[in-house]
Structure 1
Amino acid sequence: MNKSISFLSLLGVLVLLSAFSSDNCEGYFPYKEGTRLEYTSYDKKGKEEGKMIMTLQEKKSTDAGLEITMATEIVDEKNKEALNGSFGIRCEGDKFYFDMSNMIPAEMMESMGEMDMEITSDYLEFPANAVAGQTLPDGTMTIKAGLNGVNVMNMTVLVTDRRIDGFEQVTTPAGTFDCMKYSFT
């Protein structure tokens, strides 16, 4: 379930990215705070599996570009909330950046209780003007957990072989969208 939710979160961000392919940072995201985006996922038979609802909480300009805070809510097929949280994304020049640590649900962090958690991560980079066949930089995230000064867990997540596979139009009940196909291991 957590892997699916992390993937859905990343997918939602990629849809935002692919929907506004331009070299203007503001083109990546909705312009207005409070804007709500809803993404519904379906199984192979067309039955609804759940939704991800993202709301632009805060947008601020920086010297380097733009920083956005998005609130997320993930609900199951019965419209029952499964997870909620927020994540930050940024745009600088013609590149969009997503902090890999955003892929860890807040509930997972809270479940660690009294453990000391240290997360270091890269920002996954996406170009504004992607080209089919283009390779992208790898990403790494390291999680260290300790209790009373004793290290009890080290985990490293690698996102490698990142590539823009191509582009296609996807038709949904909300309309037809130009989308970027992206793969990684």
Structure 2
Amino acid sequence: MKTIITCIFAIIITTTIIGQNDCSTFYPFKEGTKTEITTYDKKNKVAAKVTYVVSSVSNNNLKSVAAMQSTIKGADGNEISQTTYNVTCSNDGIEIDFNSMFSPQLAMQFKDMETDVSGTNIILPNNLTVGQTLPEATMNARINMSGITMNMDVKMTNRKVVAQESITTPAGTFDCYVLEYTSELKMGMSKKGSAKQWIAKGVGMVKQEDYNKRGKVTSSSLLTSFTK
């Protein structure tokens, strides 16, 4: 259970990193773009590193679709997970399909079970202003084995733009918009909390902090390398 929860939240965090160069203000969407995010535990020790590569970009009518490949490695350098998913961009911003959040690695854990994944996309407009409210996003996975149904639900609610700040990371100094949202994951047990995310124009996510329901930092993520 702990491994599943960790993978889900790692994927959610990292899939908001890449967007589109021409039709997205905030996220570069260029083939070959490579981003490295380092995640830290509550004691500020390295927990994992996630590398994203835009493997291909295709155009369809007024939209572009990027095939994203992400690789998650543990603090020891061993690979934990690798997955590919699509991000769609239009002139209004980007949408990340929540159906793609159910990674092949999780699918392998449930390989003998019938799985049905549905949800609503994460939407990030091109134009952000402090005080702006953003749409919520959800994912539901129904997993059936021998007539027993397991439900895995992920919710991102109360999404809003709360500030503009300058953030310095090993990859540089960036002027960012700050987003906040509440999160909940249910799969037999419930994990509730909140998060704050810093995003920069032309780069994407620069920093993220995750908090428990008491407001204490449980993990954080930082942009440590960016090339395009």
Shift of the alpha carbon at 1:23? Answer: 7.4
- Aligned residue for 2:132, secondary structure, equals coil
Which position in structure 2 is the counterpart of 1:28? Answer: 27
User: RMSD of aligned C-alpha atoms?
Assistant: 2.6
**Of Structure 1 and Structure 2, which has the larger fraction of its residues in strand?**
2
Alignment partner of 1:56 is 2:58: no
Q: Are the aligned partners of 1:34 and 1:55 in contact in 2 as well (CA < 8 Å)?
A: yes
Q: Tell me, yes or no, if structure 1 residue 114 matches structure 2 residue 116.
A: no
- The structure richer in helix per residue is 1
CA distance in 2, matches of 1:94, 1:155: 30
1:18-52 per-position Cα deviation (integer Å, ceiling 9, x unaligned): xx8x8724863242x23322122345665433211
- When normalised by structure 1's length, the TM-score is 0.82
Unaligned ranges ≥5, structure 2:
183-228
- Which structure exhibits the higher relative contact order, with contacts defined as CA atoms closer than 8 Å and separated by 6 or more residues? 2
SS at match of 1:135: coil
Structure 1 residue 151: deviation in Å? 5.0
Give the structure 2 partner of residue 12 of structure 1.
Answer: 14
For the Cα contact (< 8 Å) 1:49–1:76, is it kept in 2?
yes
User: Contact (CA 8 Å) 1:23, 1:128: kept in 2 or not?
Assistant: no
Matches within 5 A, 1:91-106: 91-106=89-104
The one-letter code of the counterpart of 1:165 is: V
Contact in 1 for aligned 2:17/2:27 (Cα 8 Å) = no
Where does 1:1-185 land on structure 2 (aligned, <5 Å)? 1-16=3-18, 24-25=23-24, 28-31=27-30, 33-43=31-41, 47-147=45-145, 150-185=147-182
Q: Which runs of 5+ in 1 are unaligned?
A: none
How many residue pairs match? The answer is: 180
State percent identity of aligned pairs: 27
Please state whether the residue corresponding to 1:184 is helix, strand or coil.
Answer: strand
